[in-house]
């Protein structure tokens, strides 16, 4: 077995996790109490179900009583959000030890999450993760869900990642992060938290998939026609993207992508590990009847700015690597034709040192939509993970906001009184400046002349 442990940290991580596990259960026919649906129809399709069951053991652990328990761990420094899971529809799905909450939150403060509050709970969290990892025959790695801007998401996750590197050295660590949006902000000190956490997790994370609230808000508003998008509708859309990324780990398919394959194909250098996420088709139930989505259509849609889950224009940079994860009614012939058509476009620029550029995953299981949700049921979908130099704009934007506050030493005393030193701020900012330079360097073309031969 190649098991994956999902770790959900802070309010954003826990709420996205709630949406993801709700969707996984629906996809695998698992009821809220963890029992797999066993209707007559299922028994007739037993031949189909056998390989499917074998695959979803990577994400679910079966008890002797036949109950399926998610290989997941939820953690927040304050109890409200996790209490929502404890009394919610899926309360019977999780073991009580998988849900850990503190008594006092990190108050949007990286220092509280990493030092004062975080250090009190880290041993308990590591012990619970160890219990989840122990029964795994071949633990493949960790999927970590969190936000950059919150206190727990930024501070506690960086402390946890350091410990995971220490205890589970060579295991893959992939992150799904809510990146601070350009105009929508949930906390004044988001730039501080984001710069500090990026610096402290840069060497511990193998690959960080980014989404931002503003981009997902706009998709919900303009493409799904939701007048006032709630966090539930936002998280369900993010859940669809996460489900497409993890589908090849949970279902059999003609071209499966393993957890370690993501980083191998998407990360050209250890520090350049922040791919952007895009998903297609995003269509409301009302419009779906009037549209047909071919493999070519959904592939083209993924490269459009309006389908990106991060506010960052890929036309302003060059692609270093691109991973296209298809699911549903898709055959390799159509995928090859769609990719050939994309390569011929002038608007899609690849760096000259990466001539291949595309990694493809194909999974036969079509996307499942939440009943009563806004997304329409479709035959096929694609999630694109693209490592592009355009993401440097997002870092530059964040660094500029950090600089404006740090120049006046605004809000700094809240961090220093929790045990941080001012030097950590300047060190983190220097590291982010180096990251910006790294992105600029990889975007530079190779120059051939008579003297230098490559």
- How crowded is the C-beta side of 30, counted as CA atoms within 13 Å? 28
Among 285, 287, 383, 289, CA closest to 330:
383
Torsion of Cα atoms, 159 then 163 then 169 then 173, to 10°: -40
Catalytic, out of 261, 422, 441, 453: 261
Task: List b or e across 315-330, with b for residues whose CB sees 16 or more CB atoms inside 10 angstroms.
Answer: eebbbbbbbbbbbbeb
The answer to whether residues 169 and 137 touch, using CB atoms and an 8 Å cutoff, is no
SS3 per residue for 172-204: EEEEEEEECCCCCCCCCCHHHHHHHHHHHHCCC
| Partners of residue 64 on adjacent β-strands | none
In angstroms, the CA 175 to CA 170 distance is: 15
DSSP structural state of residue 449: -
CA-angle at 324, arms to 319 and 325, nearest 5°: 155
The answer to whether residues 214 and 185 touch, using CB atoms and an 8 Å cutoff, is no
| Partners of residue 62 on adjacent β-strands | 68
Helices assigned H by DSSP within 332-411: 332-343, 392-407
| Partners of residue 142 on adjacent β-strands | 5, 173
In angstroms, the CA 418 to CA 192 distance is: 14
Determine the 3-state secondary structure of 7 from DSSP. Answer: strand
The answer to whether residues 361 and 391 touch, using CB atoms and an 8 Å cutoff, is no
In angstroms, the CA 52 to CA 47 distance is: 9
Active site residue 261: yes
What positions carry a catalytic annotation? Answer: 261
């Amino acid at each position: 077995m190649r098991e994956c442990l999902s770790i959900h940290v802070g309010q954003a991580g826990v709420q996205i996790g709630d949406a993801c596990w709700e969707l996984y259960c629906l996809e695998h026919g698992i009821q809220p109490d963890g029992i797999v649906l066993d209707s007559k129809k299922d028994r007739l399709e037993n031949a189909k179900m056998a390989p499917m069951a074998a695959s979803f053991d990577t994400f679910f652990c079966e008890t002797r009583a036949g109950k399926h328990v998610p290989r997941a761990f939820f953690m927040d420094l304050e109890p409200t959000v996790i209490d929502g899971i404890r009394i919610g529809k899926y309360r019977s799905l999780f073991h009580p030890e998988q849900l850990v909450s503190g008594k006092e939150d990190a108050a949007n403060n990286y220092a509280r999450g990493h030092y004062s509050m975080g250090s009190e709970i880290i041993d308990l969290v590591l012990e619970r993760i160890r219990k989840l990892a122990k029964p795994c025959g071949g633990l493949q790695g960790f999927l970590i869900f969190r936000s950059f801007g919150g206190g727990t998401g930024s501070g506690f996750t960086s402390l946890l990642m350091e410990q995971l590197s220490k205890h589970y050295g060579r295991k893959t660590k992939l992150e799904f992060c809510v990146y601070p949006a350009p105009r929508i902000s949930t906390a004044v000190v988001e730039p501080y938290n984001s710069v500090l956490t990026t610096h402290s997790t840069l060497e511990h994370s193998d690959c960080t998939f980014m989404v931002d609230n503003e981009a997902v808000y706009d998709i919900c508003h303009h493409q799904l026609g939701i007048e006032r998008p709630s966090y539930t509708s936002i998280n369900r859309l993010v859940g669809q993207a996460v489900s497409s990324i993890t589908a090849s780990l949970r279902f059999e398919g003609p071209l499966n992508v393993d957890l370690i394959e993501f980083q191998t194909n998407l990360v050209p250098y250890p520090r350049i590990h922040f791919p952007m996420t895009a998903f297609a088709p995003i269509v409301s139930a009302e419009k779906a009847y009037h549209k047909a989505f071919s493999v070519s259509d959904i592939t083209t849609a993924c490269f459009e700015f309006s389908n990106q889950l991060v506010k960052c224009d890929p036309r302003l940079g060059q692609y270093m690597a691109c991973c296209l994860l298809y699911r549903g009614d898709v055959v390799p012939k159509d995928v090859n034709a769609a990719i050939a058509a994309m390569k011929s476009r002038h608007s899609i620029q690849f760096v000259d040192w990466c001539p291949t550029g595309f990694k493809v995953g194909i999974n036969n299981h079509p996307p499942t939509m939440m009943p009563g949700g806004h997304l329409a049921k479709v035959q096929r979908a694609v999630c694109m993970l693209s490592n592009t130099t355009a993401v440097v704009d997002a870092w530059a934007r964040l660094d500029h906001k950090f600089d404006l506050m740090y120049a006046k030493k605004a809000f700094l005393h809240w961090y220093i009184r929790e045990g941080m030193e001012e030097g950590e701020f300047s060190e983190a900012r220097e590291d982010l400046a180096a990251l910006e330079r790294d992105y600029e360097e990889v975007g530079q073309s190779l120059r051939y002349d008579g003297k230098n031969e490559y």
